[in-house]
Amino acid sequence: MPAGWLHNLRLRIKALGKRRQLDRDLDDEVAFHLAMRAEKNRAGGVEGAEAGYAAQRQFGNTTSMKERSREMWTFVSLESLWQDVRYGARLLAKNPGFTVIAILTLALGIGASTAIFSVVNSVLLRPLPFPEPDQLVRVWEANPKRGYVRNVVNPLNFLDWHEQNRSFGPMAAVAGGSANFNHGKAPITVPALAVTPEFFSVLGVAPLLGRTFTDDDGIPGHDERVILTYEFWQEQFGSDPAIVNRPIQVNDAPKLVVGVLPKGFAVPNMKASLWLPFAYTRDSDFAKSGRYLRVVARLKSGVTMTQAQQDMERVAAYTAQVRPDYNSGWGAIVNPMLKDVTSDVRRPLFVLFSAVGFVLLIACANVANLMLMRGVRRSREIAVRTALGAARARVVRQLFVESLMLASAGTIGGIAIANWGLRALLALIPEASHLPRMESIRVDSAVFLFALALAFCTTVLFGLLPALRLSRVNLHDTLKQATTRGGLGGNRTLRQSLVVAEIALALLLSVGAGLLLRSFQRLTAVDLGFHSDHLVSMGVSISRVKYNDPPKQARYLERLLDEIRQTPGVRRASTTDYLPLASELISGSCFAFGTAEPVNSATAPGSQFLIISPGYFDTMGTPLLSGRDFNERDTLKSPSAAIVNQAFVSKYFPNGDALGKQLGVCWSVQNPVQIVGVVADSRQTKLKDAPAPAIYLANTQAPLAGATFVARAAGDPQQVLRSIEIAIHRVDPDQPITEVRTMDSVFSDSASDARFQVVLLVIFAGLAVALAMIGVYGVVSYSVGQRTQEIGVRMAMGAAATSIARMVLREALLLAVLAVVIGLAGAFALTRLMEALLYETTPTDPITLTAAAVAVLLVATLAALIPARRAMQVDPMVALRYE
Amino acid sequence: MPNKKEPGDLLQGTLDLLILKSLARGPMHGYSVAEWIHESSQDVLRVEEGALYPALHRLELRGLLSAEWGTSENNRRAKYYALTAAGKKQLAEETEYWRRMSGAVARVLQTA
């Protein structure tokens, strides 16, 4: 026999195109049988019509028989699913208001979640774009007692680490930040990093052209070489394949291009267009003191993080033993690279992701409520279908299919919103953001899978519950009711619980947004210690070839400053080596009270060190509290002067007698230095960090590494910035100028991450409140609709319209108050997680909690007002005739 | 496939066997099959006549029967069923099975 199922399938498929024919055949066959039977009955003596009835009785239920045969001939389960889909689509199309609101709500929830997820995925979850990314680590020095958890590394210590560790394959150190590049036109300053030879082996990156660095490039004198990124090569050299082995001018010296990196090469938190060798030995002057290297390494296969950590502790103990004056108290810490580079953004992203998850939950609750309310209107339909023999599973499936259709439409809309939202989000993330791996943020397959998973979960959340509930109708009661206003008392509690949950979640989000808002307000109102308005700044990086010794550099800077001071629109100008709020890397070093013995850097107290020109405080608008500013009498020949800030005085001279004291400092100036002045505190690295003790030295006495000019403008700052650029180029047309900006924008950038978080959370909270408002409105207006008759009776009995409104509002308020209590409890439990994001704001800030609670109550009342008004306008006559 | 026996399939199996047996005499339409079953089983097997048709269709789908439309003795359009080769084989197997089965049951009842 032919394989049975194949034969079966062939017949079925043949039947598929001939549904009508099949039905007619079935009818004919039954009719023939009945006719024959009736004939026989008549022959047997049964009279007239009775013969036909008897035949029918003997045959049994013709419909059921046909149904069974038809099922056999067709793909019935698939077809009935298709039926459900078509039926669902018809219903949804017939009720466009409901459909649009449901889809829009879901699309917003899914879209926002997906957009945030694509950021979370790209930044936190997706592995680093290097081979075996789990083996990549960052290694830091650490001095927990002094509060340095992830500290940059001393070059000598790095050499010891490199030689003595047993856990890592390649290990490399990274230094520097920028370089001047000269390509025939005016020189420009470009991001550049200097790396020890194994850097690219650590990452496992092969060059596109040429080679990466070898050990030879790490030998001083052999290091006049450079590697270009693909993008820089394309932009500056038109992707010239002959670039390898040609010299280019970097920092006014020819450097041989040894290689070009592959397209898209990017190391998180290490931005560079040029990669230079960092060549040094134990004898190099700059290697002996200072901690400034960032270290990357690759674990040997089979070595765990714990083993590597223990190994590095052993090596650090060794460095502390051989150079105790520099290293005692210092250990080492090993972090997985991905975790390390994202450590600052983990918490904020987590908070945002949770927030958007709450929005999605609210959206689901809302749609579930809509489904329930609509379902009540359909309870008769469902009851009739059940009475006619529809299985409960079939009814549930029908409802579930509808939910699935809504969710699918919502997901498609959601993905569109996510795409658009992500673009808006990326535009919102400022250049100055500390978000690592931003370049990799995109919608990828993981994001699509996430959206699909969301679609499915939301369907279960908002679809299954109502479907199960609605399919359990009480046939008798439902069918008995004359109107379509169904009983289903249990649904009321369910609907109200959903609304309570919505309001509670919305309150939670509002509290979160409120806390961030308040924190942001305090952060941006912080006393900077200087006046940022009309303050402008720009950086110059001085050519070490043209100005090859410190006195020449100092004279050059002095000439530039003179030229700037004479520029129209400039009221004051000075230089500093560190622009407040512009960078998180600030020089720190040690000092000693008194001058008797050399400073032991391992045990001596620490302070920030800043090198400024006379008049700096005047330019910045930082008040001098006592003593004097630097002046032209502070020269290399005179004793070194120092100015300290108030934080320094409070910490080290609590009696306020700092002025005139002598300090030994670990800095290349003539020791000792004498404190000649005290200034007010300024914010330095981060807006939210309280000012730390700082020692200012005069650039006339301490050599300046790089220089940033600050100037106070009389007129339009942008205009003044242009004038200053022209002035600088009058002195040296080849001088590259970087970081041209107003201090207001520096200030604004320093608050950008906080602003970004606030904006997003406020948007999410707004969405949440709006959705909850729709939820309240829906439930109250539905309940008013249900009670029209009751309201009519009350009014007919003489109840005042206002008391009716009060009744309606009371219901809404009761729900809202319950929700607020739950929401506040949730806030107490959850806002702790936001603590790291808050500035001088406690997670349970009573004002924020109160304000959010009041706002949510108000909004809930507002949402109930419209149905309450409708209740007041009920015409008793109409309402009573309604039945 | 033909010998797939599941518990609870007994009645359906019996009906199938009766249909196959009736058609062993030649092609006939559903009504005749019903009549033949009534007569030959002396009305012992009372089948609701409607149940016959799903069974016929199932056997057709399984390839044990072939069917074609023809004209009946009283000039009506009727569907005639006939055994296929597979159907004949199936009938032989089923008959053999029943023979052994009823023999075994009879022996068990005698020894009791």
Contact B50 A69 (CB under 8 A): no
Query: Which of A63-72, A150-159, A447-456, A662-671 has the weakest average pLDDT?
Result: A63-72
Tokens at A566, concatenated: 């004479």
DSSP secondary-structure letter at A491?
H
Tokens at A523, concatenated: 């952060």
User: What is the per-residue pLDDT for A705?
Assistant: 64
Whole-number CA gyration radius for chain A: 38
Query: Residues near B19 by Cβ (< 8 Å), separated by ≥ 6?
Result: B33, B37, B52, B55, B56, B59, B65, B81
Candidates A1, A5, A58; nearest CB to B49: A58
User: What is the per-residue pLDDT for B73?
Assistant: 78
Strands laid side by side in the B28-29 sheet: B28-29, B77-83, B65-71
> Is residue A488 over pLDDT 50?
no
Asked if residues A841 and A522 have their Cβ atoms less than 8 Å apart, the reply is yes
**Identity (one letter) of the amino acid at A694?**
A
The 10s digit of each residue's pLDDT in B18-58 is 888 889 888 988 888 888 888 887 666 666 777 788 888 88
CA gap A566, B42 in Å, rounded: 128
CA gap A745, A747 in Å, rounded: 5
CA gap A327, A349 in Å, rounded: 36
User: What is the per-residue pLDDT for B57?
Assistant: 86
* 3-state SS, residue B68: strand
Whole-number CA gyration radius for chain B: 15
User: What is the per-residue pLDDT for A717?
Assistant: 92
| Average pLDDT of the residues in A402-406 | 87
* pLDDT above 70: percentage of residues in chain A: 94
User: What is the per-residue pLDDT for B11?
Assistant: 60
Centre a 10 Å sphere on the Cβ of residue A631 and count the other Cβ atoms it contains: 13
Q: Which of A29, A39, A73, A74 to probe by mutation at the B interface, max B CB count within 10 Å?
A: A29
Phi-psi sector, B63: left (phi>0), alpha (psi -120 to 50), beta: left
Candidates B57, B62, B63; nearest CB to A69: B57
Centre a 10 Å sphere on the Cβ of residue B35 and count the other Cβ atoms it contains: 16
Question: Residue by residue, what is the 3-state secondary structure of A801-818?
Answer: HHHHHHHHHHHHHHHHHH
User: What is the per-residue pLDDT for A712?
Assistant: 95
* pLDDT above 70: percentage of residues in chain B: 82
Contact B30 A32 (CB under 8 A): yes
Query: Which of A59-63, A357-361, A812-816 has the weakest average pLDDT?
Result: A59-63
User: What is the per-residue pLDDT for B97?
Assistant: 86
* Dmax (CA) of chain A: 143
Which residues from B are below 8 Å from A36, CB to CB? Answer: 31, 72
Asked if residues A561 and A613 have their Cβ atoms less than 8 Å apart, the reply is yes
Q: State the DSSP H helix or E strand holding residue A676, giving kind and residue range, or none if neither.
A: strand A673-679
For A303-358, where are the E strands, in sequence order? 331-336
DSSP secondary-structure letter at A622?
P
Q: How many CA atoms lie within 13 A of B73 on its CB side?
A: 6
**Nearest residue to A709 (alpha-carbon basis) of A609, A570, A852:** A570
Which residues of B make CB contacts under 8 Å with A?
Answer: 1-2, 29-31, 34, 48-51, 53-54, 57-58, 60-64, 69, 72, 74, 76-79, 84-86, 89
Tokens at A691, concatenated: 């000012």
Centre a 10 Å sphere on the Cβ of residue A231 and count the other Cβ atoms it contains: 14
Q: What is the ipTM of this complex?
A: 0.83
The 10s digit of each residue's pLDDT in A616-630 is 999 999 999 999 999
Tokens at A392, concatenated: 């409960």
The 10s digit of each residue's pLDDT in A528-587 is 999 999 999 999 888 888 888 878 888 898 899 999 999 999 999 999 988 999 887 778
Q: Which residue has the tokens 């075994």?
A: B104
Q: Which of A11, A14, A32, A41 to probe by mutation at the B interface, max B CB count within 10 Å?
A: A32
> Is residue A484 over pLDDT 60?
no
Alpha carbon A535 to chain centroid, angstroms: 32
Query: Which of A81-85, A470-474, A637-641, A796-800 has the weakest average pLDDT?
Result: A470-474
Which residues from B are below 8 Å from A64, CB to CB? Answer: 50
The 10s digit of each residue's pLDDT in A775-794 is 888 888 888 877 888 888 88
Q: Which residue has the tokens 């008769």?
A: A380
User: What is the per-residue pLDDT for B5?
Assistant: 39
Q: How many cross-chain Cβ pairs, A to B, lie less than 8 Å apart?
A: 79
Query: Which of A339-343, A509-513, A705-709, A720-724 has the weakest average pLDDT?
Result: A705-709
DSSP secondary-structure letter at A690?
P
**Identity (one letter) of the amino acid at A1?**
M
**d(CA A16, nearest CA chain B) in Å:** 14
Among chain B residues, CA nearest to A9: B61
| Average pLDDT of the residues in A294-301 | 96
Q: What is the dihedral of CA A800, A805, A808, A809, to 10 degrees?
A: -140
Which residues from A are below 8 Å from B58, CB to CB? Answer: 72
User: What is the per-residue pLDDT for A385?
Assistant: 75
User: What is the per-residue pLDDT for B9?
Assistant: 43
CA gap A330, A313 in Å, rounded: 10
Length of chain B: 112
Contact A28 B79 (CB under 8 A): yes
Asked if residues A678 and A625 have their Cβ atoms less than 8 Å apart, the reply is yes
Asked if residues B59 and B16 have their Cβ atoms less than 8 Å apart, the reply is yes
* Dmax (CA) of chain B: 55
**Is A61 an interface residue toward B (CB < 8 Å)?**
yes
